[in-house]
Structure 1
Amino acid sequence: MGNEGAIPGPRTPIPRWAISSWATFALAGGFLCSASAAAPPRPYAANVAKAVCAAGDAQEVGLQGQVTMAERNAGYKGAHCNLTLVSKLPAEFVPEKTRMFSMVRDRAGHLCGIASGEGGTTPTIVADMTDPKRIVETASLTSPAMMRSSEALKVNETRGLLVSTSYVPAHSANTNSEERTLDVYDIGTDCRQPRMLASVQLPFPTKSLKTGYHGFRWPDPDYVMGHEGNFAPDGMTFYVADSNHGVHHAIDLADPANPKLLDTFMAPSWKGYADGPDDSFIAFGAMPHSLSVSPDGNRGYFSIAAFDSRLETIPQTGEWSNGFMVLDTSEIQRRKPGGRMRFISQVALSDGGGHHGPLSVKINGHPYVIDNDEYGAGQLSVKGRLAACRAGLPPSGMARIWDIKNERHPKLVFKLILEVNDPKNCATIEPETIAGDAQWAMFLYDTHLCSVDNRENATVLACGHMQSGIRVYDIRNPRRVKEIAYFNPPAGKPNRVRSCAGIPRLDAKTRMLYSYCGGAGFVALQFKKGVWPFPGSSTPRDMQL
């Protein structure tokens, strides 16, 4: 699709009297400006109205979403607008480490937050958040997948299940059995103490697969590997984005103690990996990364990502398969014998990479997909971000809203462009762009993952960012998105910014938002009265992501 640019507002027909009047004026010798004389709109101009903060809030001092170098050098004190920190709890193991976040309410009414294990060195942590003023760590899960769950960590409240594959970096090529494990826990009986139901390896044939990184040839059969995944909302199927093998898997959890592989799907545009100079990493497009499944289970929205470390900026012409696919998953959902995932359409983008989080929602009854990129048009290097700025492209990854009434031809409706992602502001953010960050040098003001309050009636979008904190947007008018709140935790040390990359979770009844931020740990935040929920907002179970 190339470079989409900004989306114009609704077109208003020009009255006939206006055309006649201008024509008469011109014929009489008046001056009529040509359309080309007006400056064209900048395609990546900031377009998200800034939040109106309450008195006493510690507002951002720089651009929308920015942590200035002066703030970093002095030891960042944090910022918040319309969100109050009720309490926090750093995890016991490596408290500064960024983790992904899930949340569940069990059948006894306990509310638990779960923070992912990372890299095989830190376990998945469970905390009782029933009393948001007193968060208590209750369990650490050390099974193979839970030691490296990261973005693969998901819960399903309807079934009371906690599931994760082992998160494996996309460029890994090894035969480590622990990186080929799926763990399933009962979290519905007592979420404070999850009970293991299964820790299994699921074999599948690999003869038709592309080679892995460094030309790695997969064993045949090999076992399902993970990177991310998600449930069908009824909790009967878990879909896995297997980035290394370049495929998506559908796993049957009808009997959660005995997971079974149902199907494996490869994107038509997947071309595999290649090695660049100096051991650089190239994914030629359509690498599995993230996904969601429609509330009825019949459609899958699966991320496909592209990366090429040889390039400073993403090519604006030619093929760049970064975006999402729409798949028909109805045969899997109804357990048709031999049922398959089937391709419907694909969206490709050239203003970002590491595509993430395509989430199908309804806004005012109309179907949309909300997605984002992990990084901008300059990919993951300082040189790339600076080059993207020079080219007038966004330096960081952003969220988007797509109209999918016609699922074969999704239509871009809105790009959420914060001030930090407007190329005209690149000079303002250049100091922190060049300096990077000791903890998150690859990422800057990128959007990582988002959720909504209710996929069947979405009113707000809540996004976790790499260095811009947690930000919440009013999306009731998807063509005119407004920011309503944000929270960015203090750094604790000079020259550091905490990452709030986990997926925020909302509770309309209590005005609460829960998540996990590196350094702060588990956080319980509350919206100021009158900010959210809106009339009609709700947070039913299993309808936020």
Structure 2
Amino acid sequence: MTVVVATLTVAGPAVATAPPGYNDLTDVWPTAVAPASCREGDRVETGIQGEVPLADRTSGRSTQGYNCNIDLIGQYQGQGAGIVSATYEHCSYTGSTFPASLVGRNPGVQVIDASDPRNPRLSTALTEPAMVGGTWESLKVNKKRGLLVGTGVPMLQGAGYISVYDISQDCAHPRLLNTGAGSQLSMPIPITTHEGDFSPDGNTYWVSGLAPGYVSAVDLTDPGNPMIVWSGITGMEAHGMGFSPDGNTLYLANLFGLTVIDVTAVQNRKPRTVVPQLMPHIGEKYWADGQVTQHNIYATYGGRPFLFSIDEVGSGGVKLFDASNSANLTQRNAIKLAINLPENANRWAQSTAGNGLFGYDAHYCSIDRPVDPTAMACGWIQSGIRVFDIKDPDHFREIAYFNPPAQRGKADQLSNSSHALFGSVDLPAILGTLAVARAVLQGDARADGIISDQNRLAGGDLSADWCLSPPEFHGNQLWVTCMDNGFMTLQLDPSIYPPR
């Protein structure tokens, strides 16, 4: 079969990494970032960049994990972790997974005291309805106000429950602020929820409820009494988000790209004031290289605004857009691993088969600073934690990675791991189907060997962990949770961070 794809030339800055005539609406980014140069003695990957080869999964080699320029120095595995966790000062908050969060040894959100990063310990557990209801991608911290918020998402989408905690005084023992509406089982509030995040000033918590793009703004000027001040339909689907520093612009992820929305009316409202009008859309950006955009990160280089956008599905990786004109975002660069390239699509499908729905895709990332950032760290699901030098927006490179040991045979011990609950079934990583199919149809990858009995692991026995949570920078350490390994403190080698 011959497939012809029309290619249009897109005007934009001439950069070393952008292919000539690249059309960010229809084309697939064809290159991976330069791989990291590892230290002698590191337990390096045995396959191509980002891969956990089938041979390592079947032999048990993946249970040793891989590391390059980064070391595990502390861990609290507990019962595993939900999808997204958060950190604040010397504490970490481990997301919960429903319904297992109701029955584990420490149900709800686990609070980890990492004041000694080499010996993190469980401090307490948060057990309000939102916390035991599964926090999905809603568990977030606002460092400016010292607030922790999570919403209840039993499965993909939830409704009604939100808990707000003060963590500014004692982060190891969060204090519930909204003891009534949102936290009491009999007092839900009118929200649908899958994901959420704070405005930069911490006065508003924005919550998205997936289809049909329903989003709500929750006023937290009085955090003890959360109040809905705006809600509405923003498009066909609403996912994660990012904000301009002044909070006036919302960069909302959706199914095939992102929507830019002017939320000045919410940001500049008088406290506790309902905003009735529709939020005007500034612009939209869509692409075919990756699907289910996860979230967006605003940053500036030399005073110029940029936006990192992360795709959860389809090997889209991380895209960098010039955001000087929010109505016309222009792709400047991209971060992909070798396993994400079209020519490796059959290897992508082969080695992930049997380890659940997700494969080698980016999910949540963080940068070390918003102004002239130097490094980005990402949870790349089955590829583990990946760290990149991003000092130069035109030249990205990988500088470190850590893929934690696979926890084969331990699913029954990991009651809070979303991977152990949903991923330990013998299924192919079907969320990458579109990218694999496109690569095969366009002749970039072979179709043979993508699915066969020999490619599957009996029982889908957790042959590689799922790392979906953002690794957060704490000096030269990364604090992160992966689903099967729980909370980990990782030390970056001083030779690679800060990047020189």
Deviations 1:359-412 (A, max 9, x none): 111123221110111110xxxxxxxxxxxxxxxxxxx34111100101110001
- Residue 530 of structure 1 and its aligned partner are, at CA, apart by 2.4
Contact 1:403 1:411 in 2 (8 A): yes
- Residue 120 of structure 1 and its aligned partner are, at CA, apart by 3.9
Identical positions, percent: 33
Distance in 1, Cα, partners of 2:65 & 2:10 = 31
1:144 alignment partner in structure 2: 129
Which protein is bigger by CA-based radius of gyration? 1
Q: 1:522 aligns with which of 487, 494, 499?
A: 487
2:237 alignment partner in structure 1: 287
- Residue 519 of structure 1 and its aligned partner are, at CA, apart by 2.3
Q: 1:425 to 1:193 in 2, by over 3 A?
A: same
Q: 2:142 aligns with which of 125, 144, 156?
A: 156
2:268 aligned with 1:334: yes
Q: 1:328 to 1:430 in 2, by over 3 A?
A: closer
- Residue 237 of structure 1 and its aligned partner are, at CA, apart by 0.8
Q: Give the secondary-structure state (helix, strand or coil) at the position aligned to 1:412.
A: strand
TM-score for both structures, normalised by structure 2: 0.78
Distance in 2, Cα, partners of 1:181 & 1:442 = 27
- Residue 99 of structure 1 and its aligned partner are, at CA, apart by 3.5
2:421 alignment partner in structure 1: none
Q: 1:197 aligns with which of 159, 177, 185?
A: 177
1:232 alignment partner in structure 2: 199
Contact 2:84 2:95 in 1 (8 A): yes
Q: 1:80 to 1:236 in 2, by over 3 A?
A: same
1:541 alignment partner in structure 2: none
Specify the code of the residue in structure 2 equivalent to 1:409.
Answer: N
Q: Give the secondary-structure state (helix, strand or coil) at the position aligned to 1:428.
A: helix
- Residue 124 of structure 1 and its aligned partner are, at CA, apart by 0.8
2:402 aligned with 1:466: no
- Residue 140 of structure 1 and its aligned partner are, at CA, apart by 0.9
Q: 1:10 aligns with which of 9, 14, 23?
A: 14
2:48 aligned with 1:48: no
Deviations 1:337-358 (A, max 9, x none): 6545331111112222211111
1:311 alignment partner in structure 2: none
Q: 1:6 to 1:481 in 2, by over 3 A?
A: farther
Q: 1:457 to 1:156 in 2, by over 3 A?
A: same
Runs of 4 or more above 4 Å deviation: 2-9, 199-202
1:324 alignment partner in structure 2: 258
Matches within 5 A, 1:293-304: 293-304=243-254
2:85 alignment partner in structure 1: 101
- Residue 11 of structure 1 and its aligned partner are, at CA, apart by 6.8
Q: 1:121 aligns with which of 92, 100, 103?
A: 100
Contact 2:228 2:274 in 1 (8 A): no
Distance in 1, Cα, partners of 2:280 & 2:11 = 30
1:20 alignment partner in structure 2: none
Distance in 1, Cα, partners of 2:11 & 2:404 = 33
Deviations 1:193-240 (A, max 9, x none): 1111115657xxxxxxxxxxxxxxxxxx98202100110121111111
Contact 1:363 1:459 in 2 (8 A): no
For structure 2, which runs of at least 5 residues remain unmatched after alignment? 1-5, 22-26, 102-107, 183-187, 409-460
- Residue 474 of structure 1 and its aligned partner are, at CA, apart by 1.0
2:57 alignment partner in structure 1: 72
For structure 1, which runs of at least 5 residues remain unmatched after alignment? 13-34, 37-41, 106-110, 173-177, 203-220, 271-285, 306-321, 377-395, 536-545
Contact 1:292 1:357 in 2 (8 A): yes
Specify the code of the residue in structure 2 equivalent to 1:86.
Answer: I
Q: 1:459 to 1:165 in 2, by over 3 A?
A: same
Contact 1:436 1:444 in 2 (8 A): no
- Residue 470 of structure 1 and its aligned partner are, at CA, apart by 0.5
Distance in 2, Cα, partners of 1:64 & 1:5 = 30
Distance in 2, Cα, partners of 1:79 & 1:521 = 17
- Residue 126 of structure 1 and its aligned partner are, at CA, apart by 0.6
- Residue 451 of structure 1 and its aligned partner are, at CA, apart by 0.9
Distance in 1, Cα, partners of 2:39 & 2:11 = 31
1:374 alignment partner in structure 2: 312
Q: 2:285 aligns with which of 347, 350, 366?
A: 347
Q: Give the secondary-structure state (helix, strand or coil) at the position aligned to 2:32.
A: coil
2:371 aligned with 1:456: yes
2:213 alignment partner in structure 1: 246
Contact 2:82 2:136 in 1 (8 A): no
Distance in 1, Cα, partners of 2:149 & 2:179 = 10
- Residue 187 of structure 1 and its aligned partner are, at CA, apart by 1.2
Distance in 2, Cα, partners of 1:414 & 1:4 = 17
Specify the code of the residue in structure 2 equivalent to 1:504.
Answer: P
Q: 1:462 to 1:499 in 2, by over 3 A?
A: same
Specify the code of the residue in structure 2 equivalent to 1:79.
Answer: Y
- Residue 82 of structure 1 and its aligned partner are, at CA, apart by 0.8
Deviations 1:457-498 (A, max 9, x none): 322111101100010111111222111111000113266101
Distance in 2, Cα, partners of 1:9 & 1:53 = 32
Specify the code of the residue in structure 1 equivalent to 2:195.
Answer: E
Q: 1:87 to 1:44 in 2, by over 3 A?
A: same
Contact 1:513 1:526 in 2 (8 A): yes
Count, aligned residues: 417
Distance in 1, Cα, partners of 2:92 & 2:499 = 25
Specify the code of the residue in structure 1 equivalent to 2:473.
Answer: L
Contact 2:82 2:96 in 1 (8 A): no
Distance in 2, Cα, partners of 1:453 & 1:50 = 20
Q: 1:198 to 1:104 in 2, by over 3 A?
A: same
2:424 aligned with 1:478: no
Deviations 1:136-176 (A, max 9, x none): 11111111111111210001122111101222544x5xxxx
Distance in 2, Cα, partners of 1:99 & 1:289 = 14
Q: Give the secondary-structure state (helix, strand or coil) at the position aligned to 1:530.
A: coil
Q: Give the secondary-structure state (helix, strand or coil) at the position aligned to 1:152.
A: coil
- Residue 256 of structure 1 and its aligned partner are, at CA, apart by 0.3
